[in-house]
Amino acid sequence: MPISTSEPDSFHNFFELWVSEQNQYLQELISASQHHKQSSNISSEDDSVMLTPLIGRVINHYEQYYGAKSKWAKQDVFAMLSPSWRSSLEDAFMWIGGWRPSMAFHLLYSKSGLQLEDKFTELVRGFSSGDLGDLSPSQLNQVDAFQRRTIKEEKEITEKMAELQETVADSSMVELSHVVSELMRERGGSVNGVEEERVESTLGTKEEGLEEILQKADDLRLRTLKAILEVLTPIQAVHFLIAAAELHLRLHDWGKKRDDVGRQHRGTGGPGR
């Protein structure tokens, strides 16, 4: 299901196509999990043969997203950090243009807990669920160690972003904003090409810094996803990818609906008018 058959003219269009494909992959993952559940005598080798190709295609789909995002960020990093194609609900929970990497671990633990509760009776009787409710102590230790490293790296990127944001009020920006303001007052609101070039040059360095930080954040997001999947068995990876896709798609849907209702209320003066 490649998006690149005819390259979209904007990242917004690309994103909508990508989300549509994510929904298709979700249906494939659900079908695979149901087939696994119905086939109780599947060996671990058969499991890997049947599920690994699907998991690989889903990972490639995520890689395609971040590859396209990196390309468009070079053209307009500000749009990537304040995306118009995201709802205000999604915006409220974004971290440097996307999901916070440490959230992936909370997703894993939440889904594991829910599946453990669902299969508790079987587990007490000694049956293995095979899903995320059956994480082994070794798997949990690996996940915990990686979570600690991810949080540390996430914190470092957050601090780099804070440092860059503070440069908006550095001496060069304050001096430039004063000079341009003075010229605008003298010329009735206009500035010449020299000042405009200076503004573009000064903002350009900030833009380059933002692009670098966004790339680090996206790289951590993708590495976190892959690292978690490497710890899981194929069927556990399928369940994790299902949970990730469901959360993303439903948040996107809920946010769009809330924004639509908000626009309708603003257009009519709100309920009761």
> Which pLDDT belongs to residue 123?
56
What pLDDT, on the 0 to 100 scale, is given for residue 273? Answer: 42
Q: Percent helix, strand and coil across the chain, each rounded to 5?
A: 80, 0, 20
Report the distance separating Cα 231 and Cα 139, nearest Å: 6
Direct distance between the N- and C-terminal alpha carbons of the chain, in angstroms, rounded to an integer: 47
Residue 130: CA count within 13 A, CB half-sphere = 17
What was the pLDDT predicted at 198? Answer: 87
Residues 56-91 pLDDT 10s: 999 999 999 999 999 999 999 999 999 989 999 999
Instruction: Name residues of the chain where pLDDT drops below 70.
Output: 1-9, 40-46, 120-129, 189, 268-273
* pTM, two decimal places: 0.87
pLDDT at 39: 74
User: With pLDDT > 70 as the criterion, what percentage of the chain qualifies?
Assistant: 88
Determine the 3-state secondary structure of 244 from DSSP.
Answer: helix
- pLDDT at residue number 6: 45
Q: How far is CA 96 from CA 158, 161, 213, 221, in A?
A: 8, 8, 8, 11
The reported pLDDT for the residue numbered 35 is 87
Q: Are 191 and 183 in contact (CB under 8 A)?
A: yes
> Whole-angstrom Cα distance, residue 267 to residue 15?
27
